[in-house]
């Protein structure tokens, strides 16, 4: 099976798990569940669940039995997008080519949909805690990656440094928290569940996350992003911190190559079966997927 076929297989597992869980998102009044599902089912590459399934497979954890971790990851990612898109934050009217949550359901409902998805994700994690100590460690790992010492610190830093300016090290810390922690979490969780090398997992996951954010910035800068609504709200775009703005285009490309190299070294340590991941690294570096 080639890279694309394997990615598609993991993507189908992710979609299936997400859709099965969505059936439980029926609340009264119905608008709450509708707004949660609207954003959760809006598609995307599902890279976090895909990474989780791939690492479980490569290291020997039972991905199917642990699929609620994949769903929790996507719920947390989705809540962060809903809140990010709000007028007070990035003020984005579109997300993945569709009107953003608050454009459809209003700001108040969008705030609650985000809160509810975050709460729902943690409820899945708490339920998984019954299964054993590895599951409890995996749940803690995601919790720390998503919280005030992880993703939310990154979002806060994004606000702060966009206003006050950032040094090179500020930008890297911002990338690590805002993007890399939640991309590393599925890799680390898979390693925890399989009793694998968690240090190598974190090395790979964080380097991949930083690479992901850098190539995102490079795409934006080179105007190659074809995705409607992927661009920032106009009023915020001017101040947006990107690696290109801090390092210049050439050094950013060099840095991206360095992070791709780091990913490669770490994955060789982490997993014997690493073909899929080596292709994934190339795909993220070149953004050809």
Residue 127 is a binding residue for a second copy (CB under 8 A): yes
For residues 187 and 73, what is the distance between their CA atoms, to the nearest angstrom?
Answer: 11
Distance of CA 177 to the CA centre of its chain: 11
Quick check: 278 and 263 in contact, CB under 8 A?
Answer: no
Residue 101 is a binding residue for a second copy (CB under 8 A): no
Phi and psi, residue 95, nearest 5°: -150, 125
Q: Which of 31, 41, 219, 278 binds a second copy (CB under 8 A)?
A: 31
Residue 268 is a binding residue for a second copy (CB under 8 A): no
- Site residue total, a second copy (CB under 8 A): 51
Residue 16 is a binding residue for a second copy (CB under 8 A): no
Residue 108 is a binding residue for a second copy (CB under 8 A): yes
Distance of CA 151 to the CA centre of its chain: 10
Per-residue contact track with a second copy, 151 to 170, x per CB under 8 A?
-xx-xxx-xxx---------
Which lies closer to a second copy via its Cβ, residue 3 or residue 160?
160
Q: Which of 33, 49, 190, 205 binds a second copy (CB under 8 A)?
A: 33
Rounded to whole angstroms, what are the CA distances from 251 to 212, 214, 238, 255?
A: 16, 11, 21, 6
Residue 106 is a binding residue for a second copy (CB under 8 A): yes
Q: Is 95 helix (H, G, I), strand (E, B) or coil?
A: strand
Residue 89 is a binding residue for a second copy (CB under 8 A): yes
Residue 27 is a binding residue for a second copy (CB under 8 A): yes
Q: How far is the CB of 188 from a second copy (least distance, A)?
A: 15
- Cβ neighbours of residue 5 under 8 Å, at least 6 residues apart? none
Quick check: 27 and 115 in contact, CB under 8 A?
Answer: no
Tell me how many helices (H) and strands (E) the chain has.
Answer: 15, 2
Residue 143 is a binding residue for a second copy (CB under 8 A): yes
Which lies closer to a second copy via its Cβ, residue 147 or residue 229?
147
Residue 116 is a binding residue for a second copy (CB under 8 A): yes
Distance of CA 38 to the CA centre of its chain: 18
**Closest of 229, 228, 256 to residue 242, by C-alpha:** 256
Q: How far is the CB of 115 from a second copy (least distance, A)?
A: 6
> What tokens does 42 get?
């809006």
* Footprint on this chain of a second copy (rule: CB under 8 A): 25, 27-29, 31-33, 36, 79, 83, 86, 88-89, 106-109, 111-112, 114-116, 118-120, 122-123, 125-127, 129-130, 133, 136, 139-140, 143-144, 146-149, 152-153, 155-157, 159-161, 173
């Amino acid at each position: 099976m080639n890279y694309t076929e394997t990615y598609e297989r993991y993507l189908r597992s992710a979609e299936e798990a997400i859709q099965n869980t969505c059936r439980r998102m029926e609340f009264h009044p119905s608008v709450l569940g509708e707004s949660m599902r609207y954003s959760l089912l809006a598609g995307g590459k599902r890279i976090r669940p895909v990474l989780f399934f791939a690492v479980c497979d490569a290291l020997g954890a039972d991905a199917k039995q642990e699929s609620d971790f994949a769903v929790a990851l996507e719920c947390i990612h989705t809540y962060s997008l809903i809140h990010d898109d709000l007028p007070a934050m990035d003020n984005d009217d579109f997300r993945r080519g569709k009107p953003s949550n608050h454009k459809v359901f209003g700001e108040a409902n969008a705030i609650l949909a985000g809160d509810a998805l975050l709460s729902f994700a943690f409820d899945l994690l708490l339920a998984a805690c019954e299964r054993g100590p590895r599951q409890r460690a995996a749940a803690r790992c995601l919790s720390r990656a998503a919280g005030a010492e992880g993703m939310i610190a990154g979002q806060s830093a994004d606000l702060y440094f966009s206003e006050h300016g950032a040094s090179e090290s500020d930008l890297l810390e911002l990338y690590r928290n805002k993007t890399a922690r939640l991309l590393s979490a599925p890799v680390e969780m898979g390693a925890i569940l399989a009793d694998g090398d968690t240090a190598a997992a974190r090395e790979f996951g964080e380097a991949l996350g930083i690479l992901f954010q850098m190539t995102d910035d490079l795409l934006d800068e080179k105007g190659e992003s074809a995705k409607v609504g992927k661009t920032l709200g106009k009023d915020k775009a001017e101040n947006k911190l990107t690696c290109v703005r801090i390092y210049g285009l050439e050094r950013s490309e060099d840095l991206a190559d360095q992070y791709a190299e780091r990913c490669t070294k770490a994955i060789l340590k982490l997993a014997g079966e690493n073909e899929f991941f080596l292709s994934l690294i190339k795909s993220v570096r070149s953004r050809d997927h």
